[in-house]
Amino acid sequence: MAVWLTSHLMSICGDVWPAEQDGGACHWEGRAADGARLATARGEWLRLAPLVQGDGHPVVFRPALRTFPDVAPATDLVARGAPSGTLLSAVLHRAEAPPELRFRMTLPAGLVLEPMPSGALDVVDDFTGATVGRFLRPWTCDAMYRPVDALYMLDGPVVTLRLNLPDVAFPMVALVQYTVVTGRPPAPVPPRMEARRHEYAGLAN
């Protein structure tokens, strides 16, 4: 049901989503609590782990498509791999579903999360200022095909997706999409400057 609802609401709204693909820039470790490894343009991996009740054992439909049932009251997660990242959909079935979804983020040394005016969260190289990954602005839709107000909140390593649920028609979907930021590759960093980058990352930690 959660997979069908997600696909139905996306198709009705006419949005174009990345093709489904296993592996690539996203690797789920197993349970929801174990999280997923997400690639960055710097060649390193960050970890995104939903904070759920219980272990969150998956139901695997295909290697690139799985659900985590009952991660919170009246809430399921649908995870779909994409060529450059992942789409993680929270399906809120009824009014008792919580208005917040929380994720623990583990970043490699030298990378930080920065909120963007667009509502996105950028993964930024703290030394060069380059964006190496991005959590796009949350996409939401309720049963009346209306968007629902949503924003990211940062509290240390925890990212919270906060939803404005009053007057929402259930069921609804809230989607978190991560993508590696592509485009013009950054200029090569001189070896001496690269050594300083690692010194800087060590001091930052």
Q: Which secondary-structure segment (H or E) carries 115? A: strand 111-115
The amino acid occupying position 16 is V
Q: In tens digits, what is the pLDDT along the chain, a chain of 205 residues?
A: 666 566 656 665 655 567 777 767 888 888 888 889 999 999 899 999 999 886 678 888 777 888 898 899 999 999 888 888 898 999 999 999 999 999 999 999 999 999 999 999 999 999 989 999 999 999 998 989 899 999 999 998 999 999 999 999 999 999 999 999 865 444 444 444 445 444 444 444 4
C-alpha R_g of the chain: 17
The amino acid occupying position 72 is A
Distances (CA, A) of 12 to 3, 15, 45, 149, 150: 14, 8, 34, 19, 20
